[in-house]
Structure 1
């Protein structure tokens, strides 16, 4: 009787063992991915919650008024969580596929050969995708850019709206949303990290008193840097770097103000307005823009100027 039962079970297992094994592997893969995803999500949530708690902010948007480093920790943590979820999904899928093939009776030699074939095919056919993936991974982990940063990627420049594993989305000043493949990004100019400079190249008539004009520019900038509205956005004393260029019609004087990265444009606009008012008070009549050629823009600071 017992022999008959075991014999019947053996016949049943030979018929249904492989499908049941495949089903168990698939279910196990889904459970494993769900568990790992939950763990990653929990870690990301704890990091983000901790940063918000330290910053006393109710949501990520509110962190814009907190130190930039805290905002970047949140965005980086979420991006890294997304990367890890993708990597875990690929690894679990590959392991499940190997187990399924093994259950179906495919020998190890065939598995190795298939893996080699798939690897070669991926290397040839999907090298662009792999390049995008790796470059996106490095950009996230090295914190080259983050959501909300103002960047110059060569072909596209503007505000970063999304950092994906394969594509980074950048919206330019005209509102156009650019989709830039990570593998095609060879340089990243980030205008939102650390500090920036508001540079005013002011042209004045050739016959003007250069010393008096330079002093007035410095006084205007210093007064602005000490005003309550701007004291938090200007992080160093304004400087004049002297004469930038000379022509028959005008002399160009450079005024420089070191600012927080996010405040550069606002500071520059207000500074130009105040400079115009200051030169009006001095009685300086500005030369025609058609006759002025500004040179030296983007050159290194003079000796003694801050790097």
Structure 2
């Protein structure tokens, strides 16, 4: 039956078709492989993008907010879900792009007539070369994976990476992009990151070291600082940002010109700077009402304990 169907197709010279395929089959196969690789990557990218979009949309819907920035007013876990999902989506896009590229390269080599044994030998050679000459790239790759999957940082986090600090704009498989407060975009190799200070996870502390004249009533000033911070924490605008009762930690240092008192307020990580600025303004007004004249900063060096020296949770 198969022979009859071939004879029933008039005008087709199968010998010419075979010759044409012998001449052009390999280039056509390579082109089809490349097109297929690009199509596969496009499909993967669309699927990952759709999943990330659905996760972010679902979180925003549950938080009843219109944009991602407003999630800072919702529970921290929801913010972390958004940041981590976007970071993982970026990393997965890069990983799958490399996987598809390697697979397409193997198919192209197969179309060119390279036998499987040679492909295995080539893979071994490339592996040895990678082990010797691409150790940095492999270290970047592995460290980037661990940072994302361990949730050390995510897009939108404020981080300190040692040489660079600022807001994370992109987490790639090899490089993390951080924009600092001056607007400079830093490209930090993942393998060079030995520590990550994440200022967007959990909570933060506002430490206000206030210098007052040596002859001032320390107890009255300390009580005024606490009253100012407590009233602020009870206002509706700041209730969601300040997560614990303000405290005073007493005298941090004493000099001939001034006594330094420390006021401490525990806040959400994303609200620390806003709380600190408003608190300084209110403390200044509170001390003015108390009639306290602040000493000159040219004479006083405020040297309290380091942020972590107290060791308080």
Please indicate the TM-score interval, normalised by the length of the shorter structure. Answer: 0.7 to 0.9
User: Is 1:242 equivalent to 2:270 in the alignment?
Assistant: no
How far apart are the structure 2 equivalents of 1:192 and 1:239?
Answer: 22
* Structure 1 range deviating more: 235-244 or 257-266: 257-266
User: Is 1:181 equivalent to 2:189 in the alignment?
Assistant: yes
Alignment of 1:1-307 (within 5 A): 18-19=26-27, 21-300=29-308, 302=310, 306-307=312-313
Paired residues in the alignment total: 304
Q: Which blocks of at least 5 consecutive residues in structure 1 are unaligned? A: none
SS of 2:187's equivalent in the other structure is strand
Residues 1:268 and 1:248: Cα distance change in structure 2 (over 3 Å)? same
Write the deviation string for residues 158-206 of structure 1: whole angstroms up to 9, x where unpaired: 2223333332222222232222222222111111211111111111222
Structure 1 length as normaliser, TM-score? 0.85
* Alignment RMSD: 2.9
How far apart are the structure 2 equivalents of 1:89 and 1:65?
Answer: 36
SS of 1:286's equivalent in the other structure is coil
How far apart are the structure 1 equivalents of 2:237 and 2:43?
Answer: 50
Residues 1:46 and 1:242: Cα distance change in structure 2 (over 3 Å)? same
Q: 2:10: which partner in 1? A: none
Residues 1:196 and 1:113: Cα distance change in structure 2 (over 3 Å)? same
Residues 1:175 and 1:299: Cα distance change in structure 2 (over 3 Å)? closer
Structure 2 length as normaliser, TM-score? 0.83
Question: Does the aligned pair in 2 maintain the 1:18–1:103 contact within 8 Å?
Answer: yes
Question: Does the aligned pair in 2 maintain the 1:40–1:81 contact within 8 Å?
Answer: yes
Residues 1:11 and 1:157: Cα distance change in structure 2 (over 3 Å)? closer
Write the deviation string for residues 92-148 of structure 1: whole angstroms up to 9, x where unpaired: 222232233234332333222211222222333333233223222222222222232
SS of 1:295's equivalent in the other structure is coil
How far apart are the structure 2 equivalents of 1:38 and 1:12?
Answer: 37
Question: Does the aligned pair in 1 maintain the 2:72–2:270 contact within 8 Å?
Answer: no
How far apart are the structure 2 equivalents of 1:293 and 1:62?
Answer: 39
SS of 1:289's equivalent in the other structure is coil
SS of 1:92's equivalent in the other structure is helix
* Structure 1 range deviating more: 249-258 or 210-219: 210-219
Residues 1:25 and 1:230: Cα distance change in structure 2 (over 3 Å)? closer
Deviation at 1:230, TM superposition (A): 2.1
SS of 2:259's equivalent in the other structure is strand
* Structure 1 range deviating more: 234-243 or 10-19: 10-19
